């Protein structure tokens, strides 16, 4: 794989991570729902794109770039609508527990479904039959397409009356009935929109990676996404900066095979890959604790 191919691959993966956190920005940042369903919605989008592209191999490379993210968005919206009907009745703390349970149930369902490849995952057929140059161009085009589409959805939401309703739900949910708004519908819309954007990113990931697995819906991935959303606060630009920094940091540590001492007095070192989920979980707990005490945000 050439240097340009590697650069464009990681550019696409970073853009996918940014778009996924943008979706959580809607659910958590605007409406205040502490959702752990984002990784599951991402996985739904990835599997939907894989199924569509394997069923329609004749659409060509350009068709794959366009239809993979859209298929992921549609599938995630459908699944999130079903889950959202249950979640809209509950407040933030219960939303976190319910989305955690729903995510794990979805991961187990995908992993035990033979038609989806089971725990080994599913490969995408390289139906386009193109060379490396065309594939590089497709990756770049998909990255731009993903960012533009996700960014447009987010910008429209922030400036619309729906975005205003989401903020009211976060700050003063008791005021929603006095404004003629149903709190359950407001929470439902925010959850479905945020999850749909994650599905959009998942569809792009399927085309970029050409392999999807149930681990895309893991709780560790959900915690990492939530940690990024909490660190970024209420700024879309901060989401880009924080997500890009953490992505580059993680890839650099993995590439260098960085090892850290084992805690609690145990002798020895372990690769950072093995403890990354624990590090992210501890960081999320600390940030949430600080926010609970002082309404802390890294970027306002």
pLDDT for the residue numbered 155: 84
**How many residues make up the chain in this entry?**
300
pTM: 0.84
Could you read off the pLDDT of 99-127 as tens digits, one per residue?
Answer: 888 998 999 999 898 888 888 888 876 64
Residue 190, C-beta contacts closer than 8 angstroms, at least 6 positions apart = 26, 27, 30, 31, 33, 166, 169
Q: Residue 221 CB: number of other CB atoms within 10 A? A: 22
pLDDT for the residue numbered 266: 46
pLDDT for the residue numbered 70: 86
Phi, psi at 164, each rounded to 5° = -60, -40
Beta bridge partners of 211: 123
d(CA 229, CA 31): 13
Q: Which of 203, 208, 191, 196 lies closest to 41, judged by CA?
A: 196
Q: What is the mean pLDDT of residues 170-190?
A: 87
pLDDT for the residue numbered 1: 59
d(CA 87, CA 142): 32
Structure-model confidence comparison of residues 100 and 276, the more confident one? 100
Encode 53-84: b = buried (16+ Cβ within 10 Å), e = exposed.
Answer: beeeeebebeebbebbbbbbbbbbbebbeebb
Q: What is the mean pLDDT of residues 132-145?
A: 70
d(CA 146, CA 19): 7
Q: What is the mean pLDDT of residues 55-84?
A: 82
Could you read off the pLDDT of 263-273 as tens digits, one per residue?
Answer: 544 445 555 55
Share of the chain residues as helix, strand and coil, in percent rounded to the nearest 5:
80, 5, 20
Helical pair 219-232 and 236-255, crossing angle rounded to 10 deg:
130
pLDDT for the residue numbered 146: 79
Q: Which of 60-64, 226-230, 265-269 reaches the highest mean pLDDT?
A: 226-230
């Amino acid at each position: 794989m050439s240097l340009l191919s590697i650069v464009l691959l990681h550019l696409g993966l970073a853009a996918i991570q940014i778009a996924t956190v943008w979706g959580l920005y809607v659910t958590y940042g605007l409406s205040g729902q502490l959702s752990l369903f984002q990784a599951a919605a991402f996985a739904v989008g990835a599997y939907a794109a894989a199924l569509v592209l394997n069923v329609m191999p004749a659409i060509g490379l350009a068709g794959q770039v366009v239809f993979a993210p859209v298929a992921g968005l549609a599938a995630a919206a459908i699944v999130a609508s079903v889950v959202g009907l249950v979640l809209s009745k509950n407040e933030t703390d219960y939303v976190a527990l319910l989305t955690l349970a729903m995510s794990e149930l979805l991961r187990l369902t995908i992993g035990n479904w033979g038609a989806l490849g089971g725990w080994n995952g599913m490969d995408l057929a390289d139906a386009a039959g193109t060379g490396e140059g065309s594939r590089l161009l497709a990756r770049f085009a998909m990255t731009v397409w993903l960012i533009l589409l996700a960014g447009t959805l987010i910008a429209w939401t922030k400036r619309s009356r729906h975005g205003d309703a989401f903020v009211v739900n976060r700050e003063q949910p008791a005021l929603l009935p006095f404004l003629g708004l149903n709190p359950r519908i407001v929470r439902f819309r925010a959850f479905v929109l945020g999850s749909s954007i994650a599905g959009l990113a998942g569809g792009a990931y399927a085309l970029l990676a050409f392999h999807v697995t149930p681990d895309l819906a893991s709780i560790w991935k959900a915690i990492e996404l939530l940690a990024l959303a909490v660190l970024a606060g209420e700024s879309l630009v901060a989401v880009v900066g924080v997500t890009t920094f953490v992505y580059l940091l993680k890839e650099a540590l993995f590439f260098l095979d960085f090892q850290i001492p084992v805690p609690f007095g145990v002798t020895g070192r372990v690769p950072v890959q093995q403890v990354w989920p624990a590090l992210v979980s501890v960081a999320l707990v600390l940030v949430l604790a600080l926010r609970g005490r002082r309404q802390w945000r890294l970027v306002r």
